[in-house]
Structure 1
Amino acid sequence: MRKALTLIELILSMVIIGIVFTVIPRLVMSMNQSTQVTIKEEAMYNAMAQMGMILNLPWDNNNTQNPQILSVNAGNAAYDCNLTTGYRIGGFVGGRNCIAPPGISYNAGPIQKEDAESNDIDDFHDTNITADKNCSATLKKGLYTIGTTVIYVDDPASVGTAALSTVAKAPGQYSNTKYILVRVGYGSDSQHKGCITALQYHSFNIGNIQINSRNWN
């Protein structure tokens, strides 16, 4: 019975050990990268799905009860309703009437969740991710978390180049423009930190399109 390894066996053992210590760390790193990519893909898909749901909802809670263009208290005067014609800039005969029926006031409301179900844009407003570049989400569990912010911003100019604002108006000031920001960050359970992606959209107070129609005889 041999009591020692031959030189060839020793060399082969060293080669095998070297391969193991070289390959295993690379496999672990590759698996971690694959997991991170999977998290990002799923997070981005869900962020886009949420933005799609938001864009298909009424602009304001009052639009769930009527289709009118709503009155605002701090919008660009160029977009105010023309009380003579019943339309405003960009309107056309037979559609988007901005005059409310007598005795009924159609005004834009604050950014808040008015109902248990999400039936307008504001209902998705939930600042569970901070506004910093790291998309902090220390209060949220999971591999990633989605935060949606909805704010009123200044209306764009009615002529020339339209610059879109992302700065919130003062509390109690309602314009014709809402800025929607959907941010995705890693959750507190994830080994990663920072933002994954951010989606932005500007939604405007245009009411629901109404066009007069006649039957062909």
Structure 2
Amino acid sequence: MRRGVSLIELVLAIVVIAISVMSVPMMLQQGAKSDTFSMMQEAILAARTKMGNVLSYQWDDNDRDGNNTDGRLRVLDVSAGDPALDRNNTYYDERRIGHIFGDLRRKMMATPTFPSTVVDVNITDLNDFHGKSVQLSTEGVSTATDTFDYLDHDLNLTTHVYYISDAPAAGSDYNDTVVNFVFDASNRWSITDVNSTNIKMIELDVSSNNYQSFIFRTFSSNLGEVDLLEKEIN
């Protein structure tokens, strides 16, 4: 008896092969989506790391008290902040409402001192990050420019620093038990402006060669720092 392939078996084989071939583009597409998602996660991780690095720097170049032996950071006077947060000389010098009167606590300089308006090349405070960029590149197999045909690569992280209003929301006051505050990122102005407030907004713009971008924002306040109690043991 001669063995052969029946027509129904041939049809089934063709159908199976067709389904297999049809799934290849879908698998490639899913792989591309996975690679894109991985790159985006890398960008978010890099942005969060960069933001944490920025926030580790002192608020302003002028807030370190060089006339004091402890050298800790002081609260600065500002020229355009909410009046409720200004220096209060009625009861105690070098303090404002909310400060605790005691040794090693947060306080202001002995004489009015305002934030710097300078953006230095060497980074020593938040201002110095303004306008500076770093690049997160995709390392290729053979050369640094081999991008594996990714849609998004060479991610650029650009930092901007601005002043924003520190006034509470309308109808609210800093003397209230509950203070309402609106973080308005659009109401901002240059960090080099003499009209300083108690809040600096850090904006991190992450963009790629494919014109995809997202923005991280956070803020840092004019708080100074407390000193640690030390005991010398002989």
User: TM-score band (shorter)?
Assistant: 0.7 to 0.9
Determine if contact 2:59/2:220 at 8 Å carries over to the other structure.
yes
- Give 1:25 shift: 0.5
Q: Which residue, 194, 210, 216 being the options, matches 1:199? A: 216
Which TM-score applies when normalising by structure 1?
0.72
Is the Cα contact below 8 Å between 1:154 and 1:169 reproduced in 2? no
Deviation at 1:83, TM superposition (A): 2.9
Matching of residue 175 in structure 1 with residue 194 in structure 2: no
Compute the displacement of 1:81 (Å).
1.0
Q: TM-score, normalised by structure 2?
A: 0.68
Q: Give the structure 1 partner of residue 106 of structure 2.
A: 96
Choose the corresponding residue for 1:164, options 180, 183, 189: 183
Map 1:21-100; keep pairs closer than 5 Å. 21-64=21-64, 66=66, 67-84=73-90, 85-86=92-93, 87-93=95-101, 94=103, 95-100=105-110
- Structure 1 residue 180, shift from structure 2 partner: 1.5
Calculate percent identity across the aligned residue pairs. Answer: 25
Superposition RMSD in Å: 3.1
Aligned residue in 1 for 2:159: 148
Which amino acid is the alignment partner of residue 207 of structure 1? G
Distance 1:74 1:41, change over 3 A: same
Deviations 1:90-109 (A, max 9, x none): 111132221335xxx63202
- CA change 1:176–1:44 in 2 (3 A) is same
Report which stretch shifted further, 47-56 or 153-162: 153-162
Q: Which amino acid counterpart does residue 189 of structure 2 have in structure 1? A: K
Counterpart in 2 of 1:113? 119
Query: Which segments of 5 or more consecutive residues in structure 1 lack a partner in the other structure?
Result: 129-140
C-alpha distance in 2, partners of 1:126/1:9? 68
